């Protein structure tokens, strides 16, 4: 039997979404976001633009089936010959997308993410400028730690992987982020580190592709979980998170977004290995940034509480207030120190599950 290579039909996608929704419900999982709706804004070909808007209507239907109200649009990275960098065009494209999303039943929000290899929009500053110009309540930002740091701080084509004056540039960028972005317009935060390569990604490197931006090839193969310095992680992710969660005071959904060659291996140990790595990273982040989190499994509530209002976890929602927050005495009895066995057990369990609700103690 030969598998079909044709694109799935709309009805097939609808059925697939319903199947996925059922699988998630049986496992008590929530879907945070439908993504990526890519290669949309700035298209020169107006027929292609109209087709993408029509496809967005289908995506809004899929989002409803999946029970999420959020669709992510990454900045376009098609070749320059197919795109315009005219901000007026880009802004109007996203306004039209916002109209489609707001007219959906139920309405959908759109978060716009600057990819570090975007053709015209490749920094958080550029994406924030676009979001402000669009000026629609259902259009906000996605801040991705890998894309922020890899654009300002890193360069996989350099021998040490760091741009000239990269540390200084990163510091200035984060100060600007804290001073300029309206936290209410940040709809999603994605977290990942990147591995320092043994050799620069230049001609002759096994991942080098003259037709692909080096940061894209790096991203697809060498993202890491937070805290994996032992695997050559080197981006200043903690500083980015502190700016977002401490400086901006972000409260909302946060996700680990990992792409790594290991995930493409076919041996049976891969799922458990990656789940374990994610769990350990989650536990480290909870400890390092002293998160206050809460969630549920079946009818049993799970909370993780600490003190400092900085941090992020995979699939966690950070909120300003919690009706179910523990009292201080409950906190002290639940988590005593880093070596508490219950702490480690719950962190590993939460990370393996992948979803929780969270907040920070103010």
- Phi, psi (deg, nearest 5) at residue 353: -65, -40
The pLDDT of residue 115 is 97
What does the pLDDT read at residue 291?
64
Looking at every residue in the chain, the average pLDDT score rounds to 82
pLDDT band at 293; cut points 50, 70, 90: low
**Residue 15 located in a structural domain:** no
Across 289-310, average pLDDT: 40
What is the phi/psi pair of residue 63, to 5°? -60, -40
Say what the pLDDT of residue 3 is: 56
Asked whether residue 139 is assigned to any structural domain, the reply reads: yes
pLDDT above 80 (res 307): no
Domain count, the chain: 1
Give the dihedral of Cα atoms 232, 236, 238, 243; nearest 10 deg: -160
- Residue 205 domain boundaries: 31-264
- With 70 as the cut, is the pLDDT of residue 150 above it? yes
Q: Which two tokens stand for residue 86?
A: 């005219």
Band of residue 5 on the pLDDT scale cut at 50, 70, 90: low
Higher pLDDT residue, 171 or 313? Answer: 171
The reply to whether 111 falls in a domain is yes
346 domain-assigned? no
Please tell me the least confidently modeled range out of 22-31, 213-222, 289-298, 340-349: 340-349
Which whole number is the average pLDDT over 157-165?
95
pLDDT score, position 141? 98
- d(C-alpha 258, C-alpha 191), whole Å: 8
Which parts of the chain are beta strand (E)?
Answer: 70-74, 109-113, 139-144, 186-191, 193-194, 223-224, 253-256, 292-297, 300-304, 316-319, 356-359
Q: How far is CA 2 from CA 5, 6, 304, in A?
A: 9, 12, 49
- CATH number of the domain encompassing residue 40: 3.20.20.150
Closest CA to 96 of 132, 138, 36: 138
* Residue 134 covered by a domain: yes
Q: Which of 36-40, 145-149, 270-274, 291-295 has the lowest mean pLDDT?
A: 291-295
> Which pLDDT band, with edges at 50, 70 and 90, does 349 fall under?
very low
In a domain, 17, yes or no: no
Residue 177 half-sphere exposure toward CB, CA atoms < 13 A: 30
User: Percent of the chain beyond pLDDT 70?
Assistant: 79
Q: Which residues contact 261 (CB under 8 A, 6 or more apart)?
A: 221, 222
CA distances from 136 to 52, 69, 93, 131, 322 (A): 19, 15, 12, 8, 28
At 359 the pLDDT is: 35
Q: pTM for the full model? A: 0.81
Residue of 317 and 64 predicted with greater confidence: 64
Q: Is the pLDDT of residue 50 over 90?
A: yes
Say if residues 42 and 93 touch (Cβ distance below 8 Å): yes
pLDDT at 297 > cutoff 80: no
User: Can you give the pLDDT at residue 283?
Assistant: 84
Please check the confidence at residue 166 and state whether its pLDDT lies above 80: yes
pLDDT tens profile 188-239? 999 999 999 999 999 999 989 998 999 999 999 999 999 999 999 999 999 9
Q: Enter the tokens of residue 197.
A: 């390569």
Sorting pLDDT into bands at 50, 70 and 90, what band is 2? low
Backbone angles phi, psi at 351, to 5 degrees: -65, -40
Q: 288 exposed, middle or buried (CB, 10 Å; 0-12, 13-18, 19+)?
A: middle
Judge whether 335 lies within some domain: no
User: Contact 185/215 with Cβ under 8 angstroms?
Assistant: no
What pLDDT score was predicted for residue 318? 45
Min mean pLDDT across 30-34, 40-44, 259-263 is at 259-263
User: Using CA atoms, how far apart are residues 122 and 75, in angstroms rounded to an integer?
Assistant: 7
Buried b / exposed e along 303-333 (16+ C-beta atoms within 10 A): bbbbeebbbbbbbbbbbeebeebbeeeebee
Residues 6+ apart with CB under 8 A from 77: 38, 39, 115, 117, 118, 119, 213, 216
Mean pLDDT of the region 21-26: 96
pLDDT tens digit sequence for 104-116: 999 999 999 999 9
Helix (H, G, I), strand (E, B) or coil at 264: helix
pLDDT reading at 300 higher than 80:
no
Average pLDDT rounded to a whole number, residues 32-57: 96
Nearest to 342 by CA among 259, 273, 282, 283: 283
Instruction: For residue 191, tell me if it sits in a domain.
Output: yes
Predicted confidence band of residue 311 (pLDDT cuts 50, 70, 90): very low
Residue 261, pLDDT score: 84
Bigger pLDDT: 284 vs 240: 240
DSSP string, 270-295: HHHHHHHHHHHHHHHHHHHHT-EEEE
- The backbone torsions φ and ψ at residue 328, rounded to the nearest 5 degrees and listed phi first, read -60, -40
Length of the chain: 362
Q: Averaged over 127-145, what is the pLDDT? A: 98
């Amino acid at each position: 039997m030969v598998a079909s290579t044709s694109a799935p039909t709309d009805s097939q996608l609808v059925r697939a979404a319903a199947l996925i929704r059922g699988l998630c419900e049986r496992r008590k999982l929530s879907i945070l976001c439908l993504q990526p709706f890519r290669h949309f804004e700035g298209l020169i070909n107006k027929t292609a633009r109209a087709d993408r808007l029509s496809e967005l209507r289908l995506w809004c239907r899929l989002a409803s089936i999946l029970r999420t109200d959020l669709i992510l649009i990454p900045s376009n990275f098609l070749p320059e010959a197919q795109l315009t960098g005219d901000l007026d065009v880009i802004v109007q494209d996203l306004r039209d997308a916002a109209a489609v999303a707001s007219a959906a039943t139920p309405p959908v929000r759109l978060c716009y993410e600057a990819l570090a290899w975007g053709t015209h929009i490749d920094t958080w500053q550029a994406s924030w400028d676009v979001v402000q110009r669009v000026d629609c309540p259902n259009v906000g930002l996605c801040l991705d730690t890998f894309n922020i740091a890899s654009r300002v701080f890193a360069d996989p084509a350099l021998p040490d992987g760091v741009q000239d004056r990269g540390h200084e540039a990163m510091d200035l960028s984060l100060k600007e982020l804290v001073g300029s972005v309206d936290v209410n317009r940040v709809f999603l935060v994605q977290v990942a580190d990147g591995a320092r390569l043994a050799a620069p990604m230049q001609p002759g490197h096994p991942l080098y592709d003259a037709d692909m931006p080096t940061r894209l090839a790096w991203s697809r193969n060498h993202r890491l979980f937070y805290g994996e310095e032992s695997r050559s992680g080197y981006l200043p992710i903690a500083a980015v998170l502190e700016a977002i969660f401490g400086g901006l005071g972000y409260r909302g959904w946060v996700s680990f977004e990992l792409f790594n060659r290991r995930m493409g291996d076919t041996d049976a140990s891969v799922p458990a290995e990656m789940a374990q790595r994610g769990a350990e990273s989650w536990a480290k982040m909870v400890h390092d940034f002293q998160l206050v989190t809460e969630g549920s499994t079946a009818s049993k509530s799970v909370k993780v509480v600490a003190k400092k209002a900085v941090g992020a976890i995979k699939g966690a929602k950070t909120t300003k207030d919690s009706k179910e927050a523990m009292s201080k005495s409950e906190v002290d009895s639940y988590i005593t120190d880093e070596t508490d066995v219950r702490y480690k057990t719950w962190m590993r369990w939460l990370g393996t599950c992948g979803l929780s609700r969270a907040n920070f103690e103010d």
